[in-house]
Amino acid sequence: MNGASGNYGMGLPIQASDAAPHIDLGLRVIHFAMFAIFILWSIFFVYLLLKYRKRAGVAAQREHMGLFWSLLPDAIVLGFEILLIFFYAIPGWTRFKMDAPKPEDSTQIEIVAQQFNWNIRYPGPDGKFGRTDPKLIDFANPLGIDPTDPASKDDYVSVNQLHLPMGKPVLIRLSSMDVIHSFFIPEFRVKQDAVPGMRVPVWFTPTREGQYEITCAQLCGVGHAIMRGDVSVHTPEDFQKWLAEASAPPAEARAAAPIEQW
Instruction: Write out the residues near ligand CUA by the rule CB under 6 A.
Output: 113, 116, 181, 216, 218-220, 224, 227
The one segment of 120-128, 156-164, 173-181, 244-252 that binds another protein by CB under 8 A: 173-181
234 touches another protein (CB under 8 A) = no
Q: How far apart are CA 12 and CA 23, in angstroms?
A: 11
Among 32, 38, 240, 241, binds another protein (CB under 8 A): 38
Among 102, 134, 252, 256, binds another protein (CB under 8 A): 134
Closest alpha carbon to 161 in 220, 207, 119: 119
Q: Is 181 strand, coil or helix? A: strand
β-pair type (156-159, 161-165): unpaired
235 touches ligand HEA (CB under 6 A) = no
Q: Are residues 114 and 141 in contact, defined by beta-carbon separation less than 8 angstroms?
A: no
Residue 17 C-beta: closest distance to another protein, Å: 11
87 touches another protein (CB under 8 A) = no
| Residue at shortest CB range from ligand HEA | 41
Among 8, 35, 38, 262, binds ligand HEA (CB under 6 A): 38
Among 101, 103, 167, 196, binds another protein (CB under 8 A): 196
Give the burial class of 58: count Cβ atoms within 10 A of its Cβ; 0-12 exposed, 13-18 middle, 19 or more buried. Answer: exposed
Instruction: Determine the size of the site formed for ligand HEA (CB under 6 A).
Output: 5
Q: Phi and psi at residue 121, in whole multiples of 5°?
A: -125, 130
What is the CB-side half-sphere exposure of residue 193 using CA atoms within 13 A? 10
Q: What is the contact surface with ligand HEA in residues (CB under 6 A)? A: 37-38, 41-42, 45
